[in-house]
């Protein structure tokens, strides 16, 4: 099983489902999110922590925000 970016989480969950886990020999993910809470915080509020740990605001792309929320609903 292979997944890229935000589909990595659902792919890992799917790989553990009893009805298919015996058929999954490995899972390859590329660009999986590191911190789901940080991802949701940014997409819903526009705030994220920079490398110094300070909160920074950057307006998320309007279409991207709603596409992210709709695909994860």
Contact 50, 56 (CB under 8 A): yes
pLDDT, mean of residues 9-37:
88
pLDDT, mean of residues 12-21:
91
Contact 39, 14 (CB under 8 A): no
pTM metric for this prediction: 0.52
β-pairing, 2-4 with 47-49?
unpaired
Report the pLDDT value the prediction gives residue 15, as an integer from 0 to 100: 92
Please write the tens of the pLDDT for every residue from 31-68: 877 787 888 888 888 999 999 999 999 998 888 778 87
């Amino acid at each position: 099983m292979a997944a890229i970016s935000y589909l990595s989480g659902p792919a890992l969950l799917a790989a553990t489902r009893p009805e298919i886990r015996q058929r999954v020999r490995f899972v390859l993910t590329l660009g999986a999110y590191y911190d789901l809470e940080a991802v949701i915080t940014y997409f819903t509020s526009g705030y994220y922590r920079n490398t110094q740990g300070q909160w920074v605001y950057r307006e998320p792309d309007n279409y991207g925000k709603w596409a992210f929320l709709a695909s994860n609903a």
